[in-house]
Amino acid sequence: MSRSSRTRVLAHARVRAALVAALLAPLAACSSSPSPGAPDTGVTPTFADRPVTVTVTPKGDQVPAGEPVRVTASGGTLTSVTVADAEGHKLAGKVAADGRSWVSDRRSVPGAAYEVTAATRTEGGTAKSTKAAFTTAPADKVNKVDWRPGAGATVGIAQPISLVFDNPVRNRAAVEKQLKLTTSNNTEGSWGWISDWSGKDRVDWRPRTYWKPGTRVTLTAELNGTDSGADGGWFVRDYTTAFTIGARQIVKVDLDNHRLTLVRDGETVRRIPVSGGTPGGDKRSWRGTAVLMAKEGTINMNSETVGLGDAYDKMVDHSMRLTWSGMYAHAAPWNARYFGNANQSSGCIGMSDADAAWFYGQVRAGDPFEITGKDTKGVVAPGNGFGAWNLSWTEWQGKSALR
């Protein structure tokens, strides 16, 4: 090779080296090499991996109760949320499908201190836990509930579930939504709002037809944190009861023929001669379907308590309450000559000591008394004991606040 040829080759090599160096220089400038003095961790940082912002509602001290707790996340997702009061009671809830929000299933309750713990994950995958806290204002007035039947009871086929409230309930739909009823055989039924004989607000649940024997019933009234509305106050606890339906027993009372018949599973068990309320005045009996409210045994019956003056004041055996207004089935030996012949009581259904003792041992609370007769005070009202059965199914459904 001539000298001139070697000079041209070396020149071309120097040009190629300069070109390669020029091409590599921008790549080095865009690389993620650590700055001078910074430790090399071997992890390439992600500039989008910013902290998640968590927002909790409500927030602050003495906030109004009765609202669900809401938690939202921006710049990342929620993986779990826990809301608990100072006693460890939790408000359950579920994270939304997109991971951006969570809402409690239950409302916050009055006079509670809540701590919220939200577990989050950034868009870059970093996990973190955030805490927040708030307190609710105490209830200025509390509403309470009296209910029937009691837990663990075995009752008759006409027994309703009945809740009587200490104070008025104006937010009836909100309250009714919190009443969760389950049965072992999906019994059809409905809640209905009525006025109790005492004048208090009351809500009952009755099946469309009489209960099927053996049905197991559970009521969970998740009322804690529900506002009654107006001047009724707050509910500050939950209520629950469970009971079982007993044998199919129906008591048929024919006032015109002065007979009581106990029917069990469609078969007549026994017919008993009775005397009902005296015709033509305030001492007449009620007709329609009454439900045995309670077996009260030996009690004092005083006519003044039911507006009949001083007609009677005596101890009465084997007393079985049928209405709040004072109609009972009971032993009435002083009326022996009228049993099976005439109605001459002060409104009750009287029978002999022996028949009353036997009958008392056969029936249970919740058994229906289907009473017929031409000369009566009228039909048992829904709130006068358990008279809901005297309304048609459509009429009863119409008393629900959710229809």
Dmax (CA) for the chain in angstroms is 155
What 3-state DSSP class applies to 79? strand
Q: What tokens were used for 160? A: 């309703």
- Identify whether 330 is a catalytic site residue: yes
CA neighbours within 13 Å on the CB side: how many for 206? 31
Active-site option among 30, 258, 318, 348:
348
Quickly tell me which residue has 């008759």 as its tokens.
156
Quickly tell me which residue has 């086929």 as its tokens.
157
Nearest to 325 by CA among 306, 312, 300, 344: 306
Contact 342, 260 (CB under 8 A): no
Tell me, what amino acid is at 325?
S
Which DSSP state fits 67?
S
Contact 233, 142 (CB under 8 A): yes
Question: Phi and psi of 180, rounded to 5°?
Answer: -105, 115
What is the C-alpha to C-alpha distance for residues 387 and 56, in angstroms, rounded to an integer?
A: 48
- Identify whether 258 is a catalytic site residue: no
What is the C-alpha to C-alpha distance for residues 321 and 294, in angstroms, rounded to an integer?
A: 5
Point out which residues pair with 74 in neighbouring strands. Answer: 53
Q: What tokens were used for 112? A: 């509670």
Q: What tokens were used for 31? A: 């690389």
What is the C-alpha to C-alpha distance for residues 212 and 219, in angstroms, rounded to an integer?
A: 17
What is the C-alpha to C-alpha distance for residues 325 and 282, in angstroms, rounded to an integer?
A: 12
Contact 278, 343 (CB under 8 A): yes
Q: Which helix (H) or strand (E) holds 393?
A: helix 393-397
Beta carbons within 10 angstroms of residue 34's beta carbon:
10
Contact 243, 149 (CB under 8 A): yes
Active-site option among 30, 258, 318, 330:
330
What is the C-alpha radius of gyration for the chain, rounded to an integer number of angstroms? 38
Tell me, what amino acid is at 192?
G
Contact 314, 328 (CB under 8 A): no
Residues classed as catalytic: 330, 348
